[in-house]
Amino acid sequence: MIVGERIRALREQKKLTRGDLQERTGLQRTYIWRVENGYTVPAIETLEKFARGLEVPIYKFFYEGNRRPPLATVNESGNLWGAQGESKKMLRSFRRYLGQIDEAERSLLLHLAEEMARRADEAKKK
């Protein structure tokens, strides 16, 4: 998982051990290992703990540039799924339900979404 690799790289760049990060975040050392090695997908609240412990902005886990990433423009014309109408209602429901599921379910859902995206990319290439 990319996020785990970035967390490990930032931790090593700051010359911190997992024990040091455990003290700074309150997260268990074994949990930190599982995140860094891609076995666990952390929740947003956990990413915030990692960011505070590593003293970096949270976007650093997803973006390698030195500057803050550019903001994505929101297209209110309806060209994007979830911008208006029924898809907007469905997106709102997805957000609410995603906030209620546990880590194992979130991990399964992420795996499913990655597989669907991979298949869609393969279909486009054909």
Confidence of residue 13 (pLDDT cuts 50, 70, 90): very high
Q: Which two tokens stand for residue 114?
A: 């990655």
With 90 as the cut, is the pLDDT of residue 7 above it?
A: yes
| Angle made by CA atoms 57, 39, 71, in degrees to the nearest 5 | 30
pLDDT at 58 over 80: yes
Distance separating alpha carbons of residues 112 and 118, to the nearest angstrom:
10
Residue 39: C-alpha distances to residues 56, 107, 108, 113, 120 (Å): 23, 9, 12, 17, 25
Instruction: Tell me which CATH homologous superfamily contains domain 2-61.
Output: lambda repressor-like DNA-binding domains (1.10.260.40)
The domains of the chain are located at: 2-61
Residue 119 clears pLDDT 60, i.e. is over it:
yes
Q: Give me the chain's average pLDDT, please.
A: 84
Identify the three-state secondary structure at position 60.
Answer: helix
Instruction: Report the distance separating Cα 63 and Cα 69, nearest Å.
Output: 7
